[in-house]
């Protein structure tokens, strides 16, 4: 686990400390790519660049929406990538993303919502398959000093295991966590570990794909998170 240096940045921004009051959700756990950071366009370019390097199928622009309807496993199969090659391709993708991290912007409206949630006293963390270096660089660049920790899953389908580690480290029960993510695998991980899941529709998977998995909440704009947080039903 990495503690992001929120206190130092907050002082520079002149923010006042807030006392944490009892909340329905004691921990808000955010996915990064597609949920907080708008990485879809850059990731698509990187994917097609890597297709030449690793010899898998390109993803044309006119197939992007169809791809959003696929699960991660379906998408990997669609590209013709063997499962044993996934780790090396993912590692290369993160390296290329780091080179272009200055091209990545937050999802429109998300910084303000995260700042509001932080100001309300919520404990906020990030769980991602991206690298710690990429996430930290993004948060620093966009002055988002609101996250208590950054946790990374080295395996594409390893988020459930990491969630269990977070629960232990943060000393919280699954019922005290709301996970906010944009992919079907986020829903899988949340359900496996007993977390409530808010599925956002502006990321990598389509609303139809997410809805078919029956998440606890469907979110079509960042502002809706303010309505969901504080509720357990």
Specify whether 32 is located in the same domain as 143. yes
CB contact at 8 A, 93 and 47: yes
Q: How confident is the model at residue 14 (pLDDT cuts 50, 70, 90)?
A: very low
Specify whether 16 is located in the same domain as 114. yes
The CATH number assigned to the domain holding 160 equals 3.40.50.1000
Determine the pLDDT at residue 4.
52
149 in a structural domain? yes
Last residue of some domain: 83, 102, 121? Answer: 102
Specify whether 114 is located in the same domain as 98. no
What's the mean per-residue pLDDT of the chain? 89
Specify whether 113 is located in the same domain as 188. yes
> Taking the model in full, what pTM does it have?
0.86
136-156 residue pLDDT tens: 999 999 999 999 999 998 777
Specify whether 32 is located in the same domain as 46. no
Average pLDDT value for residue range 168-188: 95
Split into its structural domains, the chain has a count of: 2
Non-local CB neighbours of 30 within 8 Å, separated by 6+ positions: 36, 114, 124, 125, 126, 127, 147, 180, 181
Percent share of the chain, pLDDT over 90: 82
Q: In Å, how far are 32, 198, 215 from 233, measured between CA atoms? A: 24, 12, 12
155 in a structural domain? yes
Determine the pLDDT at residue 74.
94
233 in a structural domain? no
Specify whether 113 is located in the same domain as 186. yes
| Full residue range of the structural domain in which residue 96 is found | 40-102
1 in a structural domain? no
Specify whether 29 is located in the same domain as 136. yes
128 in a structural domain? yes
Last residue of some domain: 76, 102, 128? Answer: 102
49-70 residue pLDDT tens: 999 999 999 999 999 999 999 9
CB contact at 8 A, 101 and 135: no
On the 0-12 / 13-18 / 19+ scale of CB atoms within 10 A, 59 is middle
- Distance from the Cα of residue 5 to its chain's centroid: 19
Last residue of some domain: 48, 82, 102? Answer: 102
């Amino acid at each position: 686990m990495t503690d992001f240096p929120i206190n130092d940045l907050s002082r520079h921004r002149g923010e006042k400390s807030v006392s944490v009051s009892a909340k329905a959700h004691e921990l808000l756990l955010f996915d990064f790519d597609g949920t907080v950071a708008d990485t879809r366009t850059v990731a698509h370019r990187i994917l097609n660049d890597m297709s030449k390097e690793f010899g898998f199928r390109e993803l044309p622009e006119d197939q992007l929406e169809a791809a959003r309807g696929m699960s991660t496993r379906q998408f990997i199969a669609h590209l013709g990538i063997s499962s044993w090659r996934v780790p090396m391709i993912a590692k290369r993708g993160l390296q290329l993303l780091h080179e272009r991290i200055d091209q990545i912007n937050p999802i429109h409206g998300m910084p303000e919502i995260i700042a509001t949630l932080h100001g309300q006293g919520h404990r906020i963390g990030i769980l991602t398959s991206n690298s710690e270096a990429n996430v930290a660089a993004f948060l620093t660049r966009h002055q988002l000093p609101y996250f208590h920790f950054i946790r990374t899953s080295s395996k594409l389908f390893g988020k459930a295991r990491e969630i269990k580690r977070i629960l232990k480290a943060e000393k919280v029960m699954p019922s005290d966590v709301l996970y906010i993510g944009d992919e079907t695998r986020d829903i899988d991980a949340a359900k496996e570990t007993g977390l409530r899941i808010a599925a956002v529709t502006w990321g990598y998977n389509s609303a139809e794909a997410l809805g078919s998995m029956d998440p606890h909440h469907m979110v079509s704009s960042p502002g809706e998170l303010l309505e969901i947080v504080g509720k357990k039903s």
